[in-house]
Amino acid sequence: MSEEKLESDIDDWMGELSDEENPFDEEARLAMEGPPPSETTAPAATSASDLAESIAAASPID
Percent of the chain with pLDDT over 70: 61
Q: For residue 44, what pLDDT is reported?
A: 59
- How do the domains of the chain map onto residue ranges? 1-35
- Do the beta carbons of residue 54 and residue 45 sit within 8 Å? yes
* Percent of the chain predicted with pLDDT > 90: 0
Residue 55 pLDDT > 80: yes
| 3-state class (DSSP) for residue 26 | helix
> Do 45 and 51 touch, CB atoms closer than 8 A?
yes
pLDDT value at 57 more than 80: yes
